Structure 1
């Protein structure tokens, strides 16, 4: 199993930082970026190989690759997303379809979270699960969050931003454990998703899997401080959180 980070997004709501950097390289604690936090977490749980999907301002990631490898003791493979500024991240994850065959812990390049999340996902393995989503069942939800409804013993029933927060079991935080045996089915679902609409999220690919009868499981992360950084308010919160790790 290896680490996988989606870091192709432009993050236009974070300008001027993202005039020259992809969102994953915006600093959240001194020189520490979201990508740094993901790599540190992977290394702490024993993942020594990491793939990073790059697109917008990818040259900035290429320029830091060797230094990041040395700092965290990992080997990094960069995967180019040629449509990063045109299509949404269902396509971005599909670009890593060959990497999925090795089994991955996937982390969004805009999620600031502690290593306890990766540890929770790894501890949840071993009962036949193929895909396990990190789920926050504590946080109060609003319209923007990626909300999830689960059913006892049946895993995810629905995953979308477009639901009443009161109906949701919790929020998917942007970190997933994907076993190797799920790779081909997930890649096919992602392809069907972006071919239907290139603006769809990879979570819509998860929903496609569920609609096909595939079980997508969840692991509650408990009361954990984390944030998805979409705008400057999120960045301020991310900076409060990141210095605690």
Structure 2
């Protein structure tokens, strides 16, 4: 099993930080020793290393040259061998296509992390600890947070798995929020790739979570595991970035 990070997005709501950087390389932890600031990508690779993953793939697109420039330094810092997968439609299409671009990587089995989610390694540890009961896709779910309209909400049953995953849901109906981290076993790769293709061919602006819903609609069981009371944030705008910087200092 290896790590996989989706880091192709432009992050337009974070300008001017993202004028020349992909969102995953916006600094969230300033150095205290004169070194390089840490970014969401840094934090995610550190999490992968902490749980024993020594290889990761990064899907790049917008300002991809910035990731290429940091590749060797990131490999050295975290001891994780990196493969970069290029998304040729990163500025045109949404992330259902971005995850599909990594379809060959997923065949190895991956822990997928969104390139804009600040979270502790306890999330990856929780996913890995939950393996071994026949799950093929396992979503990290926050069942504690009070939900609003923007969150990626999930209705799930502990036995039968996900029934719905969408932002377009009454928050009171949801079991919890998907935080943007998934464990995908190799056995799920082919069916997931096909569902993602169906999803972006229907509408290139759909999310990969819509691909998960496509799988569910086909009768494929997508499971969840609660992460407990964990501080995390998806960084979409400047308020989120401020929150991310507050949280990241604790890890």
Pairwise TM-score range, normalised by the shorter structure: over 0.9
1:14-69 Cα offsets, whole Å, 9 max, x none, are 00000000000000001000000010000000100000000000000000000000
Structure 2 gap ranges (5+): 31-36
- The match for 1:62 among 56, 68, 76 is 68
Could you tell me which residue of structure 1 aligns to residue 13 of structure 2?
13
Instruction: Tell me the distance in 2 between the aligned counterparts of 1:151 and 1:116.
Output: 22
Could you tell me which residue of structure 2 aligns to residue 141 of structure 1?
147
> Are positions 1:90 and 2:96 aligned together?
yes
1:67-91 Cα offsets, whole Å, 9 max, x none, are 0000000100000000000000000
- The match for 2:175 among 148, 169, 172 is 169
- The match for 1:210 among 209, 212, 216 is 216
Instruction: Tell me the distance in 2 between the aligned counterparts of 1:97 and 1:215.
Output: 19
When normalised by structure 2's length, the TM-score is 0.97
Structure 1 gap ranges (5+): none
Deviation at 1:151, TM superposition (A): 2.1
Could you tell me which residue of structure 1 aligns to residue 233 of structure 2?
227
Instruction: Tell me the distance in 2 between the aligned counterparts of 1:116 and 1:43.
Output: 12
Deviation at 1:216, TM superposition (A): 0.2
Could you tell me which residue of structure 2 aligns to residue 4 of structure 1?
4
Could you tell me which residue of structure 1 aligns to residue 27 of structure 2?
27
Deviation at 1:160, TM superposition (A): 0.1
After superposition, residues 118-197 of structure 1 pair within 5 angstroms as: 118-197=124-203
Deviation at 1:159, TM superposition (A): 0.0
Runs of 4 or more consecutive aligned structure 1 residues displaced over 6 Å after TM superposition: none
Instruction: Tell me the distance in 2 between the aligned counterparts of 1:212 and 1:135.
Output: 22
Contact persistence 2:158–2:224 (CA under 8 A) = no
Q: How many residue pairs align between the two structures? A: 245
SS of residue paired to 2:98:
helix
Instruction: Tell me the distance in 2 between the aligned counterparts of 1:142 and 1:124.
Output: 28
Deviation at 1:152, TM superposition (A): 3.8
> Are positions 1:48 and 2:49 aligned together?
no
SS of residue paired to 2:44:
helix
SS of residue paired to 1:187:
helix
